[in-house]
Structure 1
Amino acid sequence: MTELLNKAFDELTTVELFEIYRARTDVFVVEQNCAYPEVDADDLVAKHLWFAGEDGHVRAYCRLYPAAQAGHWHIGRVLVNERDRKQGLARKLLQAALNWLQQQSEIDVIDIAAQTYLTRFYASFGFQAIGEPFDDFGVMHQNMTLTFVK
């Protein structure tokens, strides 16, 4: 069984925070061979959304946090644990994130810096590419945006 969890930073238990940081490091630092500051201040203001397995491990994860521009929020650190891929968790996770964001009255636009190989995936949810792809610590990304119609 997999449970969907959605918590602010100060609601996370130490074990949940450990599992989140372990999953993010495993995917973004180790698997993608990318040395960068994985833990940052955005964690403190983010809503952390993830699917947890029965053993507590993070199967899929993302964080949602306010962007600099009013009415904009950012989806970041989207991942599916390597052993949990090919089960539709990324689609379920992103849909859950968008559902939560759309319920917030102050949020009109969602921004994401997508790894370029995932732009078609995000486009399937209505995200549109903005600008040119860019290198972020050795991994190519594409800024994308989605505007909610309310």
Structure 2
Amino acid sequence: MTVHTTTVPFSALSPAEVYAVARLRQQVFVVEQECPYPDLDGRDLEDGTRHVLLRDSSDSGPAAGLLGYARVLDDGEVWRIGRVLLDPPARGRGLADVLMHAALAACPGRDVVLDAQSPLARWYATFGFVVDGPEFVEDGIPHVPMRLVV
């Protein structure tokens, strides 16, 4: 398998790509993690938002082979990474590292923040993130705020 990442604003996504992203976010967060939350929060459409898609290059078509996704938000003073996920069959192969490197590449010149699910805080720390506040529960899942200082 050969993978590649694409980082684009919402306007550059095809309808098939938007569908694939929404389907994968729903599959992981709503179904797998049992978190019925308002995923379509309006931030996907913001001018400064970037969508990071991780794909299997051997699949063809605009939405084929979507293995992972992350969203980068422009929060003014900082960048915010969220909605980081991999399709369940793609897990355990180091692909999340590829996805995070691409997301971080979309965050020039400012600190980067994220809310990590607590069990993943050690993984985010491998990219330089440090816990930046007390643990909290969101949608029934413990999280910690983390920051990468540039």
> Which residue does 1:91 correspond to in 2?
97
Runs of 4+ residues over 2 Å off in structure 1: none
Match for 1:58: what amino acid?
Answer: L
Q: Distance in 2 between matches of 1:135 and 1:57?
A: 32
1:105-126 Cα deviation digits (max 9, x unpaired): xx41101000000000001111
Equivalent residue number for residue 125 of structure 1: 127
**Overall identity of the aligned pairs, in %:** 35
Q: Which residue of 2 aligns with 1:48?
A: 51
8 A Cα contact 1:66 1:72, kept in partner: yes
Query: For the Cα contact (< 8 Å) 1:19–1:57, is it kept in 2?
Result: no
Which residue of 75, 88, 91 maps to 2:81? 75
Counterpart in the other structure of 2:25: 24
User: Counterparts of 1:135 and 1:100 in 2: how far apart (Å)?
Assistant: 28
Deviation at 1:71, TM superposition (A): 2.7
The amino acid of 1:95's aligned partner reads H
Indicate the residue corresponding to 2:67 in structure 1.
59
TM-score by length of 2: 0.90
Gap runs ≥5 in structure 2 = none
Matched residue count: 142
AA partner of residue 63 (structure 1): R
